[in-house]
Amino acid sequence: MASPSLQKHSFQVFRDVPQLRQLRRQLLLSNRTVGLVPTMGALHEGHLSLIRQAAAENTDVFVSIYVNPTQFGVSEDLSSYPRTWDSDVAKLEELNTELAHQDSKNGRITAILAPTSKVMYPTLPPSSEVDGDGSFVTITPLSRKLEGASRPVFFRGVATVCMKLFNIVHADRAYFGQKDVQQTVVIKRLVKDFYIDTEIKIGDTVREHDGLAMSSRNVYLGARRRAVGLALYTALKAAEDAYIAGKVNRTEVLDAANSVAQKVLAEQQALSPAERALYEVDYISLADPDTLDELDVIDPAKGAILSSALKMAPLKESKPGEDCGLGDGQVPVRLIDNLIFKPRV
């Protein structure tokens, strides 16, 4: 199976594993270091910031672009997940130019791994069923908590595809965004329990000017839902203020977040269908940073993870000329965000 290496780019594009491994071996023998940034494409500033971090810490950056079917449930948005290959490649090219001009000590994006599903799942077709057959990595009970409660196959899919990517790339370091906080906890556990020889680095959540966490799914929001969806971040910040002010009890901390979420929703419900955007809070969690067990009281020596998911409902009515986002405001959008409560000395 040939792996077309598109020579017009400043990086090589690999669709299959053997040629990528050959490059990896050459880099190893020349004492170069590899940072892996796994993505599902639809690259935004959050991804680019991880790649910049990887380029600052490694001579070579490998970016994988693969929309992994096994982490989408059968009723989830696999088919509608944004696929934007050309603009992704353009962004990576631009970033390579930026890296070259900025600092000679920076590494560069050397390789894009954009495998087919037959490459990633060579034996059985990838199954999204909870009891589907295949070769999987499961990390429980972590995977059943928070996001996993409503997405039962999600972290099995994530852990499985990351194990494959780690084995394929043998990166010195791999980069994940803080925004998907449960994913960072699952991946750290995966690496520890299976002795994967790759250091996991977590990059800060990159936010829009007003604080909304960047996400590939934000393109579906449109202006109205986007503005209301900011309630998620505002609610988390209110709880963080409570922690900073010295509160450690679950009720006191979460009440601060809940009252923001309820207030914004009540304001929206008072508006007409053509003006409002409604949402449902899936969860607001205050959890242990390693186990994700819910906390009654924060141990100030350990800190906590405050995280939340919010489901933005489709718009019922739109106004003429309104920017309703990709899919005309009809795609339900699940937003997640989190803040790390650092230990207090």
The CB-of-156 to its own copies minimum distance in angstroms stands at 9
**Contact status, residue 82 vs residue 41, Cβ threshold 8 Å:** yes
Q: Which is nearer to its own copies, 21 or 344 (CB)?
A: 21
The position carrying tokens 């380029």 is 55
Residue 167 C-beta: closest distance to its own copies, Å: 4
Q: Which is nearer to its own copies, 267 or 290 (CB)?
A: 290
Instruction: Retrieve residue 298's tokens.
Output: 């924060």
Give me the least distance between CB of 69 and its own copies, in Å please.
Answer: 15
C-alpha 280/C-alpha 309 separation (Å) is 9
Residue with smaller CB distance to its own copies, 121 or 175 = 121
DSSP state of 66: -
CA distance 1 to 16: 8
For its own copies, which is the closer residue by CB, 94 or 133?
Answer: 133
Known catalytic residue at 47: yes
Q: Are strands 12-14 and 108-113 parallel, antiparallel or unpaired?
A: parallel
- Look up tokens 């790649």; give the residue: 51
Given 9, 44, 47, 170, the catalytic residue: 47
CB 329 within 8 A of CB 312: no
Report the nearest approach of its own copies to the CB of residue 122 (Å): 6
Considering beta carbons, is residue 122 or 343 the nearer one to its own copies?
Answer: 122
Q: Which residues are bridge partners to 35 per DSSP?
A: 61, 173
- The CB-of-27 to its own copies minimum distance in angstroms stands at 14
Which residue, chain included where needed, has tokens 């709880």?
239
List contacts with its own copies (CB under 8 A): 17, 21, 121-123, 133-141, 163-164, 167-168, 170, 189-190, 192-197
State in angstroms the smallest separation of the CB of 79 from its own copies: 24
**Beta partners for 309?**
283, 336
Residue 141, preceding bond cis, omega within 30 degrees? yes
Closer to its own copies by CB, 12 or 198: give it.
198
Contacts of residue 87, Cβ cutoff 8 Å, sequence gap at least 6: 43
Query: What is 181-228 written as a DSSP string?
Result: HHHHHHHHHHHHHTT---EEEEEPPPB-TTSPBP-GGGGGTHHHHHHH
Residues belonging to the active site: 47
